[in-house]
Protein backbone atom coordinates (compact mmCIF):
# COMPACT_ATOMS: atom_id res chain seq x y z
CA UNK A 1 0.00 0.00 0.00
CA UNK A 2 1.04 3.61 -0.56
CA UNK A 3 2.08 5.29 2.67
CA UNK A 4 1.04 8.83 3.61
CA UNK A 5 4.37 10.41 2.60
CA UNK A 6 4.93 8.88 -0.86
CA UNK A 7 3.37 11.59 -3.00
CA UNK A 8 4.76 14.45 -0.90
CA UNK A 9 8.28 13.08 -1.24
CA UNK A 10 7.90 12.64 -5.01
CA UNK A 11 6.83 16.28 -5.27
CA UNK A 12 9.71 17.57 -3.14
CA UNK A 13 12.29 15.58 -5.10
CA UNK A 14 11.60 17.79 -8.11
CA UNK A 15 13.29 20.76 -6.42
CA UNK A 16 15.66 19.51 -3.69
CA UNK A 17 17.15 16.49 -1.99
CA UNK A 18 14.83 14.74 0.41
CA UNK A 19 15.92 13.37 3.78
CA UNK A 20 13.59 10.79 5.33
CA UNK A 21 14.14 9.78 8.95
CA UNK A 22 12.28 7.39 11.15
CA UNK A 23 12.62 4.30 13.32
CA UNK A 24 14.26 1.14 12.04
CA UNK A 25 11.76 -1.09 10.12
CA UNK A 26 9.09 1.60 9.89
CA UNK A 27 8.99 1.33 6.08
CA UNK A 28 11.59 3.79 4.76
CA UNK A 29 13.15 1.28 2.36
CA UNK A 30 9.73 0.19 1.10
CA UNK A 31 8.77 3.80 0.36
CA UNK A 32 12.13 4.47 -1.32
CA UNK A 33 11.80 1.50 -3.66
CA UNK A 34 8.16 2.30 -4.41
CA UNK A 35 9.12 5.86 -5.41
CA UNK A 36 11.97 4.52 -7.55
CA UNK A 37 9.54 2.21 -9.35
CA UNK A 38 6.63 4.62 -9.71
CA UNK A 39 8.33 7.93 -10.49
CA UNK A 40 11.58 7.14 -12.31
CA UNK A 41 12.75 4.99 -15.21
CA UNK A 42 16.39 4.71 -14.10
CA UNK A 43 16.90 4.43 -10.35
CA UNK A 44 19.61 3.11 -8.02
CA UNK A 45 19.35 1.95 -4.42
CA UNK A 46 22.53 2.00 -2.28
CA UNK A 47 22.57 0.84 1.35
CA UNK A 48 25.49 1.80 3.60
CA UNK A 49 25.05 -1.50 5.49
CA UNK A 50 26.04 -3.38 2.33
CA UNK A 51 29.81 -3.64 1.87
CA UNK A 52 29.50 -3.51 -1.92
CA UNK A 53 27.17 -0.51 -1.80
CA UNK A 54 29.45 1.19 0.72
CA UNK A 55 32.33 1.05 -1.74
CA UNK A 56 30.11 2.51 -4.45
CA UNK A 57 29.02 5.33 -2.15
CA UNK A 58 32.53 6.29 -1.07
CA UNK A 59 33.79 6.09 -4.65
CA UNK A 60 30.71 7.86 -6.06
CA UNK A 61 30.33 5.01 -8.53
CA UNK A 62 27.03 5.42 -10.30
CA UNK A 63 26.13 6.42 -13.80
CA UNK A 64 25.38 10.04 -14.67
CA UNK A 65 22.23 8.95 -16.51
CA UNK A 66 20.66 7.55 -13.32
CA UNK A 67 17.65 9.76 -12.51
CA UNK A 68 17.15 8.81 -8.89
CA UNK A 69 19.57 7.56 -6.22
CA UNK A 70 18.57 6.34 -2.75
CA UNK A 71 21.27 6.47 -0.08
CA UNK A 72 19.95 4.29 2.76
CA UNK A 73 21.43 4.51 6.29
CA UNK A 74 23.94 7.09 5.06
CA UNK A 75 24.18 8.69 8.52
CA UNK A 76 26.42 5.78 9.57
CA UNK A 77 29.11 7.26 7.32
CA UNK A 78 31.00 9.61 9.66
CA UNK A 79 31.49 12.26 6.97
CA UNK A 80 28.08 11.91 5.37
CA UNK A 81 27.05 15.57 5.67
CA UNK A 82 30.00 17.03 3.80
CA UNK A 83 29.96 14.06 1.40
CA UNK A 84 26.31 14.48 0.35
CA UNK A 85 26.77 18.26 0.10
CA UNK A 86 29.58 17.74 -2.38
CA UNK A 87 27.60 15.17 -4.35
CA UNK A 88 24.53 17.38 -4.51
CA UNK A 89 26.41 20.52 -5.51
CA UNK A 90 28.15 18.75 -8.42
CA UNK A 91 25.27 16.61 -9.66
CA UNK A 92 23.63 16.82 -13.06
CA UNK A 93 20.41 18.83 -12.94
CA UNK A 94 18.21 15.83 -13.72
CA UNK A 95 19.59 13.56 -10.95
CA UNK A 96 17.62 13.39 -7.70
CA UNK A 97 18.61 12.08 -4.26
CA UNK A 98 16.72 10.54 -1.36
CA UNK A 99 18.69 10.03 1.87
CA UNK A 100 17.14 7.79 4.52
CA UNK A 101 18.21 6.91 8.03
CA UNK A 102 17.11 5.31 11.29
CA UNK A 103 18.62 8.21 13.22
CA UNK A 104 17.79 11.89 13.10
CA UNK A 105 19.17 13.55 9.97
CA UNK A 106 18.22 17.13 10.83
CA UNK A 107 20.85 17.82 13.51
CA UNK A 108 23.67 20.09 12.49
CA UNK A 109 26.33 21.25 14.89
CA UNK A 110 27.65 24.80 14.83
CA UNK A 111 30.75 25.19 12.70
CA UNK A 112 29.98 22.34 10.30
CA UNK A 113 28.92 22.63 6.67
CA UNK A 114 25.20 23.36 6.65
CA UNK A 115 22.91 21.60 4.19
CA UNK A 116 20.08 24.02 4.86
CA UNK A 117 18.45 25.12 1.64
CA UNK A 118 19.42 21.91 -0.14
CA UNK A 119 16.92 19.46 1.29
CA UNK A 120 13.40 18.86 2.58
CA UNK A 121 13.08 16.70 5.68
CA UNK A 122 10.33 14.15 6.33
CA UNK A 123 9.79 11.92 9.35
CA UNK A 124 8.04 8.59 8.79
CA UNK A 125 5.95 7.08 11.59
CA UNK A 126 4.30 3.68 12.12
CA UNK A 127 0.68 3.01 11.19
CA UNK A 128 -1.96 4.86 13.20
CA UNK A 129 -5.73 5.16 13.32
CA UNK A 130 -5.61 7.87 10.65
CA UNK A 131 -3.48 5.74 8.28
CA UNK A 132 -4.78 2.22 7.79
CA UNK A 133 -4.92 -0.45 5.08
CA UNK A 134 -8.27 -0.22 3.29
CA UNK A 135 -9.11 -3.78 4.31
CA UNK A 136 -8.83 -3.10 8.06
CA UNK A 137 -11.55 -1.61 10.25
CA UNK A 138 -10.74 1.11 12.78
CA UNK A 139 -11.82 -1.16 15.63
CA UNK A 140 -9.49 -3.95 14.53
CA UNK A 141 -6.65 -1.49 14.06
CA UNK A 142 -7.22 0.00 17.51
CA UNK A 143 -6.80 -3.41 19.16
CA UNK A 144 -3.71 -4.19 17.11
CA UNK A 145 -2.12 -0.88 18.01
CA UNK A 146 -2.63 -1.64 21.69
CA UNK A 147 -1.27 -5.19 21.46
CA UNK A 148 1.34 -5.48 18.68
CA UNK A 149 1.99 -1.81 17.88
CA UNK A 150 1.92 0.06 14.58
CA UNK A 151 5.15 -1.00 12.87
CA UNK A 152 4.23 -2.48 9.49
CA UNK A 153 5.36 -6.11 9.90
CA UNK A 154 3.74 -6.94 13.28
CA UNK A 155 0.77 -4.64 12.66
CA UNK A 156 -0.19 -6.23 9.35
CA UNK A 157 0.45 -9.76 10.66
CA UNK A 158 -1.50 -9.23 13.89
CA UNK A 159 0.13 -12.13 15.74
CA UNK A 160 1.31 -11.33 19.28
CA UNK A 161 3.83 -14.18 19.46
CA UNK A 162 5.45 -13.20 16.17
CA UNK A 163 5.36 -9.55 17.25
CA UNK A 164 7.34 -10.35 20.40
CA UNK A 165 10.02 -12.13 18.34
CA UNK A 166 10.14 -9.27 15.86
CA UNK A 167 10.45 -6.72 18.65
CA UNK A 168 13.30 -8.55 20.36
CA UNK A 169 15.23 -8.96 17.11
CA UNK A 170 14.69 -5.32 16.16
CA UNK A 171 15.80 -4.08 19.57
CA UNK A 172 18.94 -6.24 19.49
CA UNK A 173 19.89 -4.85 16.07
CA UNK A 174 19.40 -1.28 17.21
CA UNK A 175 21.48 -1.70 20.35
CA UNK A 176 24.21 -3.94 18.94
CA UNK A 177 24.54 -2.42 15.45
CA UNK A 178 22.88 0.96 14.97
CA UNK A 179 23.94 2.52 18.28
CA UNK A 180 27.47 1.18 17.82
CA UNK A 181 27.66 2.76 14.37
CA UNK A 182 26.75 6.28 15.51
CA UNK A 183 27.80 6.52 19.18
CA UNK A 184 30.57 5.24 21.45
CA UNK A 185 28.70 3.28 24.14
CA UNK A 186 30.93 1.07 26.29
CA UNK A 187 28.23 -0.97 28.01
CA UNK A 188 25.18 -1.62 25.85
CA UNK A 189 23.78 -3.90 28.56
CA UNK A 190 23.38 -0.91 30.87
CA UNK A 191 21.80 1.05 28.00
CA UNK A 192 19.27 -1.78 27.57
CA UNK A 193 18.46 -1.64 31.29
CA UNK A 194 18.05 2.13 31.03
CA UNK A 195 15.53 1.70 28.22
CA UNK A 196 13.70 -1.00 30.21
CA UNK A 197 13.44 1.44 33.13
CA UNK A 198 11.81 3.99 30.83
CA UNK A 199 9.42 1.37 29.44
CA UNK A 200 8.13 0.64 32.93
CA UNK A 201 7.65 4.37 33.61
CA UNK A 202 5.88 5.38 30.38
CA UNK A 203 3.52 8.27 30.97
CA UNK A 204 4.98 9.07 34.40
CA UNK A 205 7.38 11.84 35.37
CA UNK A 206 10.93 10.69 34.69
CA UNK A 207 13.55 11.60 37.28
CA UNK A 208 16.76 10.68 35.51
CA UNK A 209 18.86 10.96 38.68
CA UNK A 210 16.80 8.17 40.27
CA UNK A 211 17.28 5.85 37.29
CA UNK A 212 20.96 6.77 37.20
CA UNK A 213 21.29 5.83 40.86
CA UNK A 214 19.61 2.46 40.31
CA UNK A 215 21.95 1.66 37.40
CA UNK A 216 25.03 3.19 39.05
CA UNK A 217 25.66 5.60 36.19
CA UNK A 218 26.02 9.36 36.36
CA UNK A 219 23.00 11.64 35.82
CA UNK A 220 24.96 13.17 32.93
CA UNK A 221 25.18 9.74 31.29
CA UNK A 222 21.46 9.14 31.82
CA UNK A 223 20.68 12.47 30.16
CA UNK A 224 22.94 11.68 27.20
CA UNK A 225 21.31 8.26 26.80
CA UNK A 226 17.85 9.82 26.72
CA UNK A 227 19.07 12.12 23.94
CA UNK A 228 20.54 9.08 22.16
CA UNK A 229 17.35 7.02 22.15
CA UNK A 230 15.46 10.08 20.93
CA UNK A 231 18.02 10.49 18.13
CA UNK A 232 17.61 6.80 17.25
CA UNK A 233 13.81 7.07 17.07
CA UNK A 234 13.29 4.60 19.89
CA UNK A 235 11.45 6.95 22.22
CA UNK A 236 10.73 10.64 22.63
CA UNK A 237 10.46 12.89 25.68
CA UNK A 238 7.91 15.62 26.16
CA UNK A 239 8.42 18.43 28.66
CA UNK A 240 6.09 20.46 30.89
CA UNK A 241 4.40 23.64 29.71
CA UNK A 242 5.47 26.48 31.96
CA UNK A 243 4.23 29.63 30.20
CA UNK A 244 1.06 31.01 31.79
CA UNK A 245 0.85 28.05 34.18
CA UNK A 246 1.05 29.20 37.81
CA UNK A 247 3.35 27.10 40.02
CA UNK A 248 4.15 24.77 37.10
CA UNK A 249 6.75 22.09 37.57
CA UNK A 250 9.76 22.89 35.42
CA UNK A 251 11.97 19.91 34.59
CA UNK A 252 10.88 16.26 34.61
CA UNK A 253 10.09 14.88 31.15
CA UNK A 254 7.61 12.17 30.31
CA UNK A 255 8.84 9.55 27.85
CA UNK A 256 6.88 7.65 25.19
CA UNK A 257 7.90 4.96 22.68
CA UNK A 258 7.45 4.89 18.91
CA UNK A 259 6.55 1.21 19.20
CA UNK A 260 3.41 1.18 21.30
CA UNK A 261 4.01 -2.44 22.26
CA UNK A 262 7.33 -1.48 23.88
CA UNK A 263 5.41 -0.09 26.86
CA UNK A 264 5.48 -2.29 29.95
CA UNK A 265 4.01 0.16 32.46
CA UNK A 266 0.69 -0.90 33.94
CA UNK A 267 -2.71 0.77 33.90
CA UNK A 268 -3.54 3.03 30.98
CA UNK A 269 0.06 3.68 29.98
CA UNK A 270 -0.18 1.91 26.64
CA UNK A 271 -3.31 3.85 25.69
CA UNK A 272 -1.60 7.09 26.70
CA UNK A 273 1.42 6.08 24.61
CA UNK A 274 -0.87 5.38 21.65
CA UNK A 275 -2.26 8.91 21.88
CA UNK A 276 1.24 10.39 22.24
CA UNK A 277 2.51 8.64 19.10
CA UNK A 278 -0.55 9.73 17.11
CA UNK A 279 -0.15 13.35 18.19
CA UNK A 280 3.59 13.38 17.44
CA UNK A 281 3.00 11.91 13.97
CA UNK A 282 0.47 14.65 13.22
CA UNK A 283 2.73 17.41 14.51
CA UNK A 284 5.72 16.12 12.56
CA UNK A 285 3.63 16.13 9.40
CA UNK A 286 2.42 19.68 10.05
CA UNK A 287 6.02 20.80 10.59
CA UNK A 288 7.45 18.92 7.62
CA UNK A 289 4.70 19.85 5.14
CA UNK A 290 3.28 23.17 6.31
CA UNK A 291 6.40 24.56 7.96
CA UNK A 292 4.72 25.55 11.23
CA UNK A 293 6.62 25.14 14.50
CA UNK A 294 4.94 22.53 16.66
CA UNK A 295 5.33 21.37 20.25
CA UNK A 296 3.88 18.53 22.28
CA UNK A 297 3.87 19.25 26.02
CA UNK A 298 2.13 18.22 29.21
CA UNK A 299 0.96 20.26 32.22
CA UNK A 300 1.49 19.62 35.89
CA UNK A 301 1.59 22.14 38.72
CA UNK A 302 2.75 21.86 42.31
CA UNK A 303 -0.82 21.21 43.43
CA UNK A 304 -0.84 18.04 41.35
CA UNK A 305 -3.22 19.27 38.63
CA UNK A 306 -2.17 17.55 35.42
CA UNK A 307 -3.21 17.36 31.78
CA UNK A 308 -1.60 14.67 29.65
CA UNK A 309 -1.00 16.59 26.42
CA UNK A 310 -0.84 20.15 25.17
CA UNK A 311 -0.66 20.62 21.38
CA UNK A 312 0.98 23.90 20.37
CA UNK A 313 1.20 25.08 16.75
CA UNK A 314 3.07 28.29 15.98
CA UNK A 315 2.83 29.38 19.59
CA UNK A 316 -0.95 28.86 19.79
CA UNK A 317 -2.40 26.25 22.15
CA UNK A 318 -4.64 24.22 19.87
CA UNK A 319 -5.59 21.28 22.07
CA UNK A 320 -5.63 20.19 25.67
CA UNK A 321 -6.01 16.40 25.79
CA UNK A 322 -6.56 14.14 28.76
CA UNK A 323 -6.47 10.34 28.33
CA UNK A 324 -8.52 7.91 30.41
CA UNK A 325 -9.06 4.18 30.10
CA UNK A 326 -12.68 4.11 31.23
CA UNK A 327 -13.51 7.19 33.35
CA UNK A 328 -16.10 9.18 31.40
CA UNK A 329 -16.34 11.96 34.01
CA UNK A 330 -14.45 15.03 32.82
CA UNK A 331 -11.19 15.57 34.67
CA UNK A 332 -11.26 18.50 37.10
CA UNK A 333 -7.70 19.40 36.01
CA UNK A 334 -8.81 19.50 32.38
CA UNK A 335 -11.65 21.84 33.30
CA UNK A 336 -9.31 24.08 35.28
CA UNK A 337 -6.69 24.42 32.54
CA UNK A 338 -9.27 24.77 29.80
CA UNK A 339 -10.60 27.89 31.52
CA UNK A 340 -7.12 29.18 32.34
CA UNK A 341 -5.41 28.66 28.97
CA UNK A 342 -8.42 28.93 26.62
CA UNK A 343 -7.22 26.47 23.96
CA UNK A 344 -8.99 26.17 20.63
CA UNK A 345 -10.15 22.68 21.63
CA UNK A 346 -10.33 20.66 24.85
CA UNK A 347 -10.80 16.90 24.69
CA UNK A 348 -10.93 13.92 27.02
CA UNK A 349 -10.18 10.65 25.21
CA UNK A 350 -11.64 7.52 26.82
CA UNK A 351 -10.51 4.10 25.64
CA UNK A 352 -13.66 2.22 26.69
CA UNK A 353 -16.15 5.00 26.00
CA UNK A 354 -19.73 3.96 25.22
CA UNK A 355 -21.29 7.31 24.35
CA UNK A 356 -19.50 10.49 23.30
CA UNK A 357 -20.74 13.82 24.64
CA UNK A 358 -19.75 17.46 25.09
CA UNK A 359 -20.05 19.57 28.22
CA UNK A 360 -19.06 23.22 28.66
CA UNK A 361 -16.99 23.12 25.50
CA UNK A 362 -15.08 19.96 26.48
CA UNK A 363 -15.51 16.96 24.20
CA UNK A 364 -15.45 13.42 25.60
CA UNK A 365 -14.79 10.94 22.80
CA UNK A 366 -13.10 7.72 21.79
CA UNK A 367 -9.58 7.84 20.25
CA UNK A 368 -10.92 6.25 17.05
CA UNK A 369 -13.27 9.18 16.51
CA UNK A 370 -10.68 11.79 17.47
CA UNK A 371 -8.03 10.52 15.06
CA UNK A 372 -10.24 9.59 12.11
CA UNK A 373 -9.36 12.65 9.97
CA UNK A 374 -5.67 12.62 8.97
CA UNK A 375 -3.85 15.97 8.78
CA UNK A 376 -2.37 15.03 5.38
CA UNK A 377 -5.91 15.26 3.94
CA UNK A 378 -6.87 18.49 5.68
CA UNK A 379 -6.12 22.17 5.38
CA UNK A 380 -4.49 23.17 8.67
CA UNK A 381 -5.94 26.45 9.91
CA UNK A 382 -3.70 28.30 12.34
What is the pLDDT, as a whole number, of residue 1? 77
Q: What's the pLDDT at 381? A: 61
The stretch 330-352 carries a mean pLDDT of 97
Q: Is residue 303 part of a domain?
A: yes
> Average pLDDT in the 73-81 region?
90
Is 244 contained in some domain? yes
pLDDT in tens, 1-44: 789 999 999 999 999 999 999 999 999 999 999 999 999 999 99
Q: What is the extent of the structural domain holding 19?
A: 6-123
CA–CA gap between residue 209 and residue 219 (Å, rounded):
5
Question: Which pLDDT score is estimated for 111?
Answer: 44
Share of the chain above pLDDT 90, in %: 84
On whether both 97 and 145 belong to a single domain, the answer is: no
159, part of any domain: yes
Same domain, 250 and 332: yes
Are the C-beta atoms of 238 and 263 separated by less than 8 Å? Answer: no
- What is the structure's pLDDT at 103? 85
Q: Within 10 A of 376 (CB to CB), how many other CB atoms are there?
A: 16
**31 and 177 inside one domain:** no
pLDDT for 110: 43
**Of residues 372 and 179, more confidently modeled:** 372
Domain boundary, last residue among 123, 155, 177: 123
- Predicted confidence at residue 382, as pLDDT, reads 61
- 255 vs 321: CA distance, rounded Å: 16
pLDDT per residue over 184-237, tens digit each?
777 889 999 999 999 999 999 999 999 999 999 999 999 999 999 999 999 999
| Final residue before a domain boundary, out of 123, 155, 175 | 123
Write out the DSSP string of 196-223: HHHHTTTTS---HHHHHHHHT--HHHHH
Beta-ladder partners of 296 = 311
Q: Is 9 helix (H, G, I), strand (E, B) or coil?
A: helix
User: Are residues 105 and 64 both part of a single domain?
Assistant: yes
Pairing verdict, β 316-324 and 306-313: antiparallel
Domain count, the chain: 2
Half-sphere exposure of residue 126, counting CA atoms within 13 Å on the CB side?
Answer: 30
What's the CATH number where 60 sits? 3.40.50.300
What local confidence, expressed as pLDDT, does residue 33 receive?
95
Mean pLDDT of 180-184: 74
> Quick one: how far is CA 209 from the chain centroid?
25
Render pLDDT for 270-323 as a digit per residue (tens, 0 to 9): 999 999 999 999 999 999 999 999 999 999 999 999 999 999 999 999 999 999
Amino acid sequence: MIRYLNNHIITDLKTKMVFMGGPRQVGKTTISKAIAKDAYERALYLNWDSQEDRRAIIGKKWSSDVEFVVFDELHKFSKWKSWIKGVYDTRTSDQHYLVTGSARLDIYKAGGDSLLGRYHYWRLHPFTLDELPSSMTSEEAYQRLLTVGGFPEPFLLGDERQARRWRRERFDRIIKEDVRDVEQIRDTTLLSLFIDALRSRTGGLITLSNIAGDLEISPKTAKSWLMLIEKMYLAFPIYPLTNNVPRAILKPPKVYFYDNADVTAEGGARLENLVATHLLKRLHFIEDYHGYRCELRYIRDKEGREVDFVVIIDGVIHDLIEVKTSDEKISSSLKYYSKLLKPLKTTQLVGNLKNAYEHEGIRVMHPIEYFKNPPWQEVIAI
